[in-house]
Amino acid sequence: MALQINTHISEGTARIVLNGRFDFNSQRLFRSSYDTPLGDASIHTLEIDLGDVEYLDSSALGMLLLLKERAAAAKKELVLANCRGTVMQVLEVANFNRLFTMK
């Protein structure tokens, strides 16, 4: 299933919920999901909810690293949420649990 993204903004947090396959074909859609929250001064935290991601590849890892750099430059916290199963295994193999706040 192609990636679908829903963004919910509440109390200074932009919660970006991903659903489906997070891969190279998702690049433009993923970038557009966080561009506005990154530029919004009232948002302090970006939470990427990976609970409904069924697959992610190395390009998805690269997109998360790029977002981490952009969030740091915008002085915003970045959190990866609801990581489990195969997605969590991929993130752990890539040592993302050391690079990102995960909850």
Q: What is the pLDDT of residue 101?
A: 95
Q: CATH number of the domain that 80 lies in? A: 3.30.750.24
pLDDT exceeding 70 applies to what percent of the chain?
100
Is the separation of the CB atoms in 72 and 65 below 8 Å? no
Q: List the domain range (segments joined by +) for residue 57.
A: 4-102
d(CA 46, CA 40): 11
Question: pTM to 2 decimals?
Answer: 0.95
Q: pLDDT for 28-55, tens place per residue? A: 999 999 999 999 999 999 999 999 999 9
Number of domains in the chain: 1
Confidence at 1, pLDDT banded by 50, 70, 90: confident
